Amino acid sequence: MSNSENAIEVTNLVKRYTDLLALDHFSLTVKAGEILGLLGPNGSGKTTTINCILSLLTFDKGDIKVFGKEMKPDSYDIKREIGVVMQDVAVFDELTVYENIELPLVYLNIKPAERNRRVKEVLEKVNMLHRANHLPQQLSGGQQQRIAIARALVNKPAILLCDEPTGNLDPANSNEIMKILNQVNKQGTT
């Protein structure tokens, strides 16, 4: 894939929630390797856009393509290329940090030795290897966010979608999260 290829193309996206027009012919193009931020006030459609791109929400009109292919609810081949960090930190409280990150690889039938290598690699990337055996409730909010990012990265996605990855974090943790995301981008993730 070349850097001139479009990673994401959204064309004339319309999404309504009953009487509320959330997206009104919204379009955007993200080139492979690019960093793009959607800025706007609460309720402006940023999360709705992400959920439509992921085909988690149906929309009324428009087209969404990821790497030139139409995105549909059953586009699992495309979805495997996308890592997601949701607005609210989503970790499984009953699983250790290591198990939280390993889970996507288990579902993809990755062999145990490769799972172990990848989990340790992303734990080092987010500076959390020393917390691998902890439960999420033993961690700060910033540390839990790092775990969510590590889980999104463990499958080496071509695209990483983040919905307010630094929301509710103190400035120091926000800066650390942004450094991690910039590093991941420099390594080729859109």
DSSP class of residue 135 equals -
Q: Which pLDDT belongs to residue 23? A: 95
Percentage of the chain exceeding pLDDT 90: 71
pLDDT, one tens digit per residue, over 105-134 is 998 899 999 999 999 999 999 989 999 999
CA 134 – CA 188 distance, rounded (Å): 30
User: Can you state the angle between helices 97-107 and 112-125, rounded to 10 degrees?
Assistant: 130
67: alpha, beta or left, given left = phi > 0 and alpha = psi -120 to 50?
left
- Does the pLDDT value for residue 2 go beyond 80? no
pLDDT of 87 reads 78
Looking at residue 91, its pLDDT comes to: 83
The 3-state secondary structure of 146-173 reads HHHHHHHHCCCCCEEEECCCCCCCCHHH
Average pLDDT over all residues of the chain: 91
**pTM for the whole thing?**
0.89
Taking only the tens place, the pLDDT of each residue in 46-79 is 999 999 999 999 999 999 999 999 999 999 999 9
State which of 6-15, 33-42, 84-93 shows the largest mean pLDDT: 6-15
3-state SS class at 1: coil
pLDDT category of residue 1 using cuts at 50, 70 and 90: very low
